[in-house]
């Protein structure tokens, strides 16, 4: 979970994460949430990094990805800027969460 960026529709994080991928993994999902002080946090949308996407970009991917809905009854608008790459034979996914809009 990243730090919360308050009171902006264009947050910047610049945070990096590492995920060890299992040999049978199909996708890794990143959820974008709106943190609420008095109620449950709302899920705004998500992006999925799939095995196929990583195979199509063997040197890594950097760019804006559109959010998709988590709840089919909710409309989703927004994008998140990610940089992802798989390092080494250990299947280590390095993901930088940069910004959103």
Report pLDDT digits (tens) over 23-45: 899 999 999 888 877 888 888 89
Residues of the domain holding 71: 12-100
C-beta atoms surrounding 98 within 10 Å: 17
Which pLDDT score, from 0 to 100, does residue 78 have?
93
Tell me how far CA of residue 82 lies from CA of 40, 48, 67, 78, 87, in angstroms.
26, 11, 12, 13, 16
pLDDT, tens digit, for every residue of 47-86?
999 999 999 998 999 999 999 999 888 889 899 999 999 9
Whats the size of the chain, residue-wise?
101
Q: Which residues, 6+ apart, have CB-to-CB distance to 50 below 8 Å?
A: 26, 27
Q: Is residue 3 part of a domain?
A: no
Q: Is residue 7 part of a domain?
A: no
The tally of domains found in the chain comes to 1
Average pLDDT estimate for 92-99: 94
Q: Is residue 4 part of a domain?
A: no
Q: Is residue 1 part of a domain?
A: no
């Amino acid at each position: 979970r990243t730090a919360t960026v308050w009171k902006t529709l264009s947050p910047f994080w610049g945070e990096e994460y590492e995920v060890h991928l299992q040999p049978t993994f199909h996708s890794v999902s990143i959820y974008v949430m709106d943190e609420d002080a008095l109620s449950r946090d709302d899920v705004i949308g998500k992006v999925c990094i799939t095995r196929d996407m990583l195979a199509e970009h063997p040197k890594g991917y950097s760019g804006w990805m559109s959010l998709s809905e988590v709840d089919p009854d909710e409309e989703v608008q927004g994008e998140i800027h990610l940089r992802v790459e798989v390092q080494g034979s250990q299947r280590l996914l390095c993901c930088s969460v940069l910004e959103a809009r």
